[in-house]
Structure 1
């Protein structure tokens, strides 16, 4: 019997029991769709958390920590392959007071090497990188936190009344000159000297809304000058004014892990986003395997319907099987015909399940943010980039293999039973 004839044979018998076959396909579809949708939750949550991590920090950044009093071996680290920049930001243990016209801001200042900052791909929302020692870069929220005394009092009142804050500098800061002075945390008096700096750049908006960036970045050539002013203004023993943080930037994300391992080999304590992602991937691997296992149970339940349908098909076709054997049909051919029928049920059920799963996933990602936002009373929740369900092609392949394999296994036993039917008894069976 040609393969085309075998397909026609299977199709004809399926048409004879449309309702029963339809219900069997429906059960297989529901089981496979449940498997895909359930597992897609794990993929969706993992995708959301990976995006949160990658948006929250520079993905090529490796934080380096040294023992107390130990300095980084810059030349040795620079020789490490794929190290793109070494950024050391030095902060001062004093408060920085910035004055622009009649507005002021108390914040933090960091000394840095702008050449290395540029190599690390420091992003600016406007302006450029400094080229002179009296040029600075300020944080994205620097302008809105430059307040007059009246605005500061009004803001304190608004906070007590839980009202929206007002004020801030509304114009562009590029090209503006700010006067800065230093003030000890232990005293309200500022040090006698102050300096004028020109703002030439504003950093990019932080990835998280709750982060407020009012930092000031200036060239590290000012370190000795600030230390001198501090020593002259503080009586008694002068502790070290500065403390540093060091960050290594690799050429791409794929090299973060190798650079991290090499820095550990040098004896440094390091932290990078790759380590966090690895821990996250291990957790979600176990989580997704658990979801797929639970979903497979639904497919196995659906297999009971396929088994019953195929068993009934063998029973109803006993005489037909006897005729086929009498005219020379081999047991392998008979078995293949019934396996093709069970496989057809599995394939149709899987195709429908995949289509339904993508529709459910789309609706979930569209509707659930609105429902959760309404339940929590947060109108902006639906605007968050949160993925509730994600169906990658790997999940479709895994679910399809499981569903079709279970369908064929369910039809194997009835198919074997069909090959063992006695020809004489089958022909004696009444129509």
Structure 2
């Protein structure tokens, strides 16, 4: 039989058993749809995070106190440390560093406005923070300036949703028991910028005044540096580590600080989403396995039901290879059809997920993988039934009732 004849013959056989074929295909559809949707979510999350990090730019390095190091027993130990403005000033001597920014964190500080009270978080920064981060985009008013005191920039939600009445620019709010004039309101943003909508930003010395004795006079919670164009942030990061080890009198591997570069963040995100992708694929793979078992079961039943037909084919000259090709082709068609329909179902599912704000990304590579995988599952599942059909003896097969 020619290959086209084999294809027509296989399609007709599947069409003669529509209900069984549809139910078998359904198992593959569910499995492929699950794999594609779950992997696309992992890829979508990765793309979303990397896109948000891209907004921050590739020319910054963040230094925070404390670190994680591995003990001789293999476990990880957290070490605490402190950063000061003196550390940041010393970093200015490193070639490639153009700007240094400082931050003090404020967690759940009381805020009052026209008799209403609530709690907000945020930070005290040097004025350069508005140049460092595009997430801090002022929509109304302006950013605070260097050496300016008792002024504050409110996040969009703080200004618009926290109190009954919107807080306007130039009005006074009480934060941590001290009066602040609102000089600006941040723009409404999504992604990482959505966090800033619920926060406040004030000069670092004002934050230090609110914190009081909770922090040492020169202590900061984060140092941010900007790297000049043409300099490698990883190389500058290594120089920062060396400088801070010298200042803090600690050996390599015993740092009481962390240096975070765009490359290290990217690597961490890829590791996390890659692990998530493998985990989700494993879960979805169970559904595919069940679908493959369904194909094998269907093909074994087909061999039993068509034993006499197989005997006739062999009697008129069909070879063992032809018989194997017939059944493998039928199994492959079931698998491929399930793959195509599974992709359609996955595409519809991702549209729904996107509507609800869940990021997804069905790539061409993922599409081709799903189709190839479904075809391979079908062929592998149909191999042993096809082999069994080819091994039937024509005389015995013709006597089968």
The one-character-per-residue Cα deviations of 1:122-144 (angstroms, maximum 9, x if unpaired) are: 99769xxxxxxxx96899x9697
The CA distance in 1 between the partners of 2:102 and 2:21, in whole Å, is 73
Q: Is the 8 A contact 1:143 1:169 kept in 2?
A: no
Q: List aligned pairs for 1:123-142, cutoff 5 A.
A: none
Residue 335 (1) aligns with residue 324 (2): yes
TM-score by length of 2: 0.62
Matched, 1:249 2:227: yes
Larger Rg: 1
| Partner of residue 412 from structure 1, selected from 370, 379, 383 | 383
- Gap regions ≥5 residues in structure 2: 65-81, 105-122, 172-177, 205-215, 246-256
- SS at structure 2 position matched to 1:72: helix
CA distance 1:335–1:259, change in 2 (3 Å): farther
What corresponds to 1:102 in structure 2?
none
- In structure 2, the residue corresponding to 1:164 is in which secondary structure? coil
SS at 1:168's partner residue? coil
CA distance in 2, matches of 1:89, 1:425: 87
- 1:86–1:246 Cα contact (<8 Å) kept: no
1:211 is matched with 199
Q: Secondary structure at the match of 1:387?
A: coil
State yes or no: 1:4 paired with 2:16: no
1:303 equivalent in structure 2 = 292
Change (3 A) 1:205 1:325: closer
Instruction: Tell me which of 69, 85, 90 is aligned to 1:72.
Output: 90
Aligned to 2:394: 423
Structure 1 residues 204, 18: CA separation in 2 closer, same or farther (over 3 Å shift)?
closer
State how many pairs are aligned.
320
CA contact 2:14–2:21 (8 Å) conserved in 1: yes
Structure 2 partner of 1:326: 315
The answer as to whether partners of 2:92 and 2:100 remain within 8 angstroms in 1 is: no
Distance, in Å, in 2 between the alignment partners of 1:295 and 1:393 is: 19
Q: What residue is the counterpart of 2:345 in the other structure? A: 356
Distance 1:335 1:261, change over 3 A: farther
Q: Paired residue for 1:22?
A: 22
Map of 1:99 onto structure 2: none
Partner SS state of residue 98, structure 2: strand
Superposed displacement of residue 272, structure 1: 2.6
Contact kept, 8 Å, 2:335 with 2:375, in 1: the verdict is yes
Alignment of 1:76-225 (within 5 A): 77-78=94-95, 83=96, 86-89=98-101, 110=126, 162-169=163-170, 207=193, 208-215=196-203
Sort the Cα spacing of 1:405 and 1:257 in 2 relative to 1 into closer, same or farther, 3 A: farther
Residue 305 of structure 1: SS of its match in structure 2?
A: helix
Q: Distance in 2 between matches of 1:18 and 1:336?
A: 21
Residues 38 and 256 of structure 1: is their aligned pair in 2 closer, same or farther, counting only changes over 3 Å? same
Give 3-state SS (helix, strand or coil) of 1:88's partner. strand
Q: Does 1:260 align with 2:237?
A: yes
1:122–1:345 distance in 2 versus 1, CA, 3 Å: closer
Structure 1 counterpart of 2:336: 347
Distance in 2 between the 1:64 and 1:308 partners? 60
Q: Does 1:63 align with 2:52?
A: no
Residue 191 of structure 1 is matched in structure 2 by none
Give CA deviations for 1:41-93 in whole Å, capped at 9, x if unaligned.
444444555555555x4453112579875653656x33xxxx5x52024799x
1:345-379 CA distances to partner (integer Å, 9 max, x unpaired)?
0001010011111101111332xx4xxxxxxxxxx
* Shift in CA distance, 242/313, structure 1 to aligned 2, threshold 3 Å: closer
Q: Is the 8 A contact 2:127 2:203 kept in 1?
A: no
TM-score after normalising by structure 1: 0.59
Deviations 1:202-254 (A, max 9, x none): 998883202334559xxxxxxxxxxxxxxxxxxxxxx99898945033649x9
The alpha-carbon deviation at position 279 of structure 1 amounts to 2.7
Contact 1:137 1:203 in 2 (8 A): no
1:101 alignment counterpart: none
Change (3 A) 1:202 1:14: closer
**Structure 1 residues 263 and 22, CA gap change in structure 2 (3 angstroms):** same
* Cα 1:88/1:46, change in 2 over 3 Å: closer
Give, in whole Å, the separation in 2 of the partners of 1:402 and 1:271: 39
Deviates more, 1:255-264 or 1:33-42: 255-264
